[in-house]
């Protein structure tokens, strides 16, 4: 698989930079999420994209009144895209695009290797083709994009947060655009008590590290998608929300019972730096860590 495009999409669109997130949904197979934004007359014709065993799903964040697309050197029939429109291209077809107007989109780079691993985890056939009409509107994909926007703005997010959205997106694409029947789980769909205990203990033991959804799912002997669904059904919140809650509780305990510097507490509780910790703490408690630490 040629993954050159995944981390360097901006260069093919002649853009100085792009915001990028990655989800290692299973093992070492990445799905890359990129926000590409251009002002008028800055792109025109993209550079040829190297062929790869991967799809690129694009979600338009603003209307795209004019564009042209070539696959394997042949011009494709396309129409103007509205806000929220989606489209899919197979990078094996060596796509090239003409973009003479401003655009703002989120691209999901979906390698075939990752799709195969996710499908195997759900015991079904992998995605070989995505029958998405150019410019289709899909509220679910649009909602995933909106949830990712704040994380893309900072180019960072809890790994469990990004993993959860990517796993949900993959399941949705497989169910809606492949013609392959996706089996839904039967029964209550909740975790057993031993699974809940194991996951909570695992999260508590790794508050300062970046756990992945597949790691937690494997501990419960479940597929990542089923685990995400069952965890929320059991606890009422998503795995990444539980992780943030426990990090905050640990931070509050350290603020109250130790005199460690706030920067050290931030790192010990899994935050990337003191600034990130302060923003999260202030948003969740209404006060800064320093103010919270002051004797009442």
Per-residue confidence band for 1, with pLDDT thresholds at 50, 70 and 90: very low
Measured N-to-C along each axis, helices 239-257 and 159-177 cross at an angle, to the nearest 10 degrees, of 170
pLDDT, mean of residues 90-117: 90
d(CA 239, CA 193): 16
Q: Percent of the chain scored above 70 by pLDDT?
A: 91
For residue 143, is pLDDT > 80? Answer: yes
Q: Using one digit for the tens of pLDDT, what is the confidence trace for 40-87?
A: 766 688 988 888 899 999 999 999 999 999 999 999 988 999 999 999
Higher confidence at residue 8 or residue 185?
8
Query: Would you tell me how many other CB atoms lie within 10 Å of the CB of residue 95?
Result: 20
> Quick one: pLDDT at residue 92?
92
Higher confidence at residue 147 or residue 174?
147
d(CA 59, CA 264): 39
Q: Output the average pLDDT for the chain.
A: 87
Higher confidence at residue 183 or residue 166?
166
Per-residue confidence band for 295, with pLDDT thresholds at 50, 70 and 90: low
> Quick one: pLDDT at residue 65?
92
Which part of the chain is CATH 1.10.10.60?
Answer: 192-296
> Quick one: pLDDT at residue 108?
94
pLDDT, mean of residues 112-139: 83
Q: Using one digit for the tens of pLDDT, what is the confidence trace for 171-211?
A: 899 888 887 666 665 555 899 999 999 999 999 999 888 88
d(CA 221, CA 293): 41
Q: Using one digit for the tens of pLDDT, what is the confidence trace for 70-80?
A: 999 999 988 99
Furthest CA-CA distance within the chain: 71
Q: Please state the φ and ψ torsions of residue 185, each to the nearest 5 degrees.
A: -70, 145
pLDDT, mean of residues 234-239: 94
Give 192-296's CATH code, choosing from 3.40.50.300, 3.30.390.30, 1.10.10.60, 3.40.50.2300: 1.10.10.60
> Quick one: pLDDT at residue 22?
78
Q: Using one digit for the tens of pLDDT, what is the confidence trace for 9-44?
A: 888 888 888 888 877 655 555 788 999 999 876 668
HSE-CB for 56 with a 13 A CA cutoff: 26
Higher confidence at residue 81 or residue 8?
81
Structure tokens that stand for 200 in this block: 């909570």
Q: Using one digit for the tens of pLDDT, what is the confidence trace for 104-123?
A: 999 999 988 888 877 777 77
d(CA 13, CA 31): 19
The CATH architecture one would assign to domain 9-177 is Sandwich (2.60)
Which part of the chain is CATH 2.60.120.10?
Answer: 9-177
pLDDT, mean of residues 87-96: 93
Strands ordered across the beta sheet of 19-26: 19-26, 29-38, 103-111, 54-60, 85-90, 136-137
């Amino acid at each position: 698989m040629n993954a050159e495009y995944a981390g360097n999409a901006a260069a093919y669109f002649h853009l100085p930079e792009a915001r990028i997130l990655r989800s290692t949904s299973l093992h070492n197979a990445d799905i890359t999420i990129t926000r590409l934004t251009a002002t008028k007359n800055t792109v025109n014709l993209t550079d040829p994209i190297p062929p790869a065993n991967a799809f690129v799903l694009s979600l338009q964040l603003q209307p795209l009144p004019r564009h042209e697309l070539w696959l394997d050197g042949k011009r494709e029939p396309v129409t103007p895209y509205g806000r929220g429109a989606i489209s899919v291209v197979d990078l094996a077809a060596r796509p090239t695009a003409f973009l003479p107007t401003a655009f703002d989109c989120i691209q999901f780079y979906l390698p075939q290797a990752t799709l195969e691993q996710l499908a195997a985890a759900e015991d079904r056939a992998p995605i070989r083709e995505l029958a998405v009409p150019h410019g289709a509107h899909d509220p679910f994909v649009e909602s995933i994009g909106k949830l990712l926007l704040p994380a893309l703005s900072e180019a960072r997010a809890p790994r469990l947060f990004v993993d959860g959205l990517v796993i949900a997106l993959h399941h949705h694409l497989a169910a809606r655009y492949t013609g392959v029947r996706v089996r839904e789980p039967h029964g209550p769909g909740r975790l057993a008590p031993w699974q809940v205990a194991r996951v909570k203990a695992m999260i508590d033991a790794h508050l300062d590290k970046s756990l992945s959804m597949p790691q937690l799912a494997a501990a419960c002997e479940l597929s990542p998608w089923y685990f995400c669904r069952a965890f929320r059904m059991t606890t009422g919140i998503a795995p990444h929300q539980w992780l943030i809650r426990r990090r905050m509780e640990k931070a509050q305990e350290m603020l109250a019972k130790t005199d460690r510097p706030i920067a050290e507490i931030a790192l010990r509780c899994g935050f990337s730096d003191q600034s990130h910790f302060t923003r999260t703490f202030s948003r969740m408690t209404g006060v800064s860590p320093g103010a919270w630490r002051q004797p009442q």
